[in-house]
Amino acid sequence: MKTQIINRKNEDEGKIDELLDRGVEKVYPSKDILKKVLLSGKKLRLYQGFDPTGTKLHIGHMVGLRKLAQFQKLGHHVIFVIGDGTGQAGDPSGKTKSRHHLQSLTLSTHSDEPGVLRRMLESFGKEGINLESIKSEKVGEDVKFKIKIDEHKYKPELISKVVHSLVSQGFFTNQQLRQNAESYIEQASKILDFKGKNKVEILYNGDWLNKLTLIDILEIAQHFSVQQLIERDMFQERLKTGESINLREFLYPLLQGYDSVAMDVDLELGGTDQTFNMLAGRTLMKGMKNKEKFVMTTPLLSDSRGVKIGKSEGNLIGLTDAPSDLFGKIMSLGDDAIIPIFTLLTDIPTQEIAKFDLKKDAMNLKKRAASLVIEQLHGKTASKEAEEDFSNIFQNKKIPEIIEELRANEKELLSEVLIKNKFLSSKSEWKRLVLGNAVRDLSENKTITDVDFKISGDLTLKIGKKKFIKVLSK
């Protein structure tokens, strides 16, 4: 019995060492102090915040999610915080320029006839308004247009003259951010447990940040000096280059820091780019609750150029990407991204990783890394099929030399072209294939996920496991 207790103690200490060392950049105030707390048996209340200014979590998020899962398995209380409150301010972390202050509008129409978008653009053009961006999407029977306008250039009265359904002003509204975050839990559940005995708690920081009074904000602000905030590296860089520092961004660390106070946590987890914000939380916890808060920073998953893999840099590899897309995107990363992927996103022992020879075996190692990542997110079968697809199409070039060709008009629905030419039997078959991620555009190396996909150029398609076809646009 005594031997069993000693073995269990050694096993627990081993798990704690793994928790504190692998995939951890730094712990404040120190790893040694946090280790003593963990070895004492105390169960911590900890969290990580996720910015919902996009709709997808990506493999860069996996670093933190996997670390949260380790804490959860050791019995600690994990909180998954969706930053719909801080998202309204706009996190400046990693940004060398101040964010444009954009007015976001959403317009809907029941008409999907040609010319709707053109007429809308003409309406803005007549008033001399240039749009920063416009995106359209089909929602049921309606078409929704998402528009952004630089509000510094135009008077609100002028915009409202053209647009009747003004949805919001500023970066994002709380409503928009919560809509973006609707699928976050489902995506994160690939790694975290939201339903078990020790389930992860879900909180939205807008629930407390949007209730702060002027007195509350002044009390928070009194714990910081201008000198402390201006010392932030990115702000120093902006000062050197003459870029502006928006006061809205300047106050962001105070808002994120207050999350720790509102939830009364013991530890905050986040990427190294969040260090300043998380340390602001340490300052507030000490000043407002006289309590020690640990901060654990995790390395950023970077590509071969040292650029982090995420939505802000335009190289997003989403957790919900189709397995074949995931595999292809990971394979397209530089060879020097292989070791970080193994270290941060897999459970391969570090001793084994240290023996990898990238010069001799980079291709096989990268394929193994991609397979292990996909296995965690989609299961073994999907991982195996994704690897086979990659090998057949991109390595073995197993695309038939002679492929049937179809002619189609620009903007014609791909589904109608395939059905009209009897390549598919019905729209229901098309929908089933698309929703099952079984239609791939080999010319762009991506899966077609839109059932209303319209032709905009030549396509080489793989449909299901064995059908290939070329669609040539007129």
Q: Are residues 439 and 391 in the same domain?
A: no
Q: Are residues 131 and 41 in the same domain?
A: no
For 384, phi and psi rounded to 5 degrees?
-65, -45
Task: Give a yes or no: residue 3 inside a domain.
Answer: no
Which CATH number covers residue 362?
1.10.240.10
Q: What is the pLDDT of residue 280?
A: 93
Which CATH number covers residue 112?
3.30.70.260
Task: Give a yes or no: residue 33 inside a domain.
Answer: yes
Q: Are residues 197 and 292 in the same domain?
A: yes
SS3 for 274-311 is HHHHHHHHHHHHHHHHCCCCEEEEECCCECCCCCECCH
Count of structural domains, the chain: 4
Which CATH number covers residue 456?
3.10.290.10
Task: Give a yes or no: residue 315 inside a domain.
Answer: no
Q: Are residues 88 and 211 in the same domain?
A: yes
Task: Give a yes or no: residue 187 inside a domain.
Answer: yes
Q: How far, CA to CA in Å, does 212 sit from each of 206, 207, 216, 244, 444?
A: 10, 10, 6, 27, 48
Q: What is the pLDDT of residue 169?
A: 29
Residue 301 CB burial class (10 angstroms; 0-12, 13-18, ≥19): buried
First to last CA, the chain: 79
Task: Give a yes or no: residue 313 inside a domain.
Answer: no
Task: Give a yes or no: residue 379 inside a domain.
Answer: yes
The answer to whether the CB of 297 falls within 8 A of the CB of 270 is yes
Q: Are residues 260 and 335 in the same domain?
A: no
* Interior angle at CA 128, CA 126 and CA 131, nearest 5: 105
Q: What is the pLDDT of residue 286?
A: 95
Which of 264, 298, 332 is a domain's end point?
Answer: 298
Q: What is the pLDDT of residue 157?
A: 67
Which of 152, 170, 188 is a domain's end point?
Answer: 170
Tokens standing for 452? 């209303």
Task: Give a yes or no: residue 468 inside a domain.
Answer: yes
Q: Are residues 351 and 389 in the same domain?
A: yes
Q: Are residues 283 and 218 in the same domain?
A: yes
C-alpha dihedral sign at 92, 87, 209, 285: negative
Give residue 450's domain range: 405-473
Q: Are residues 265 and 411 in the same domain?
A: no
Task: Give a yes or no: residue 6 inside a domain.
Answer: no
Q: Are residues 244 and 185 in the same domain?
A: yes
Q: Are residues 46 and 156 in the same domain?
A: no
Q: What is the pLDDT of residue 401?
A: 56
Rg (CA), the chain: 25
Q: Are residues 23 and 79 in the same domain?
A: yes
Q: Are residues 264 and 280 in the same domain?
A: yes
Which of 348, 375, 395 is a domain's end point?
Answer: 395
- Spatial separation of the C-alpha atoms in residues 227 and 165, rounded to whole Å: 43
Q: What is the pLDDT of residue 317?
A: 84
Q: What is the pLDDT of residue 104?
A: 54
Low pLDDT (below 50) residues in the chain: 92, 95-102, 108-113, 139-142, 164-171, 312-314
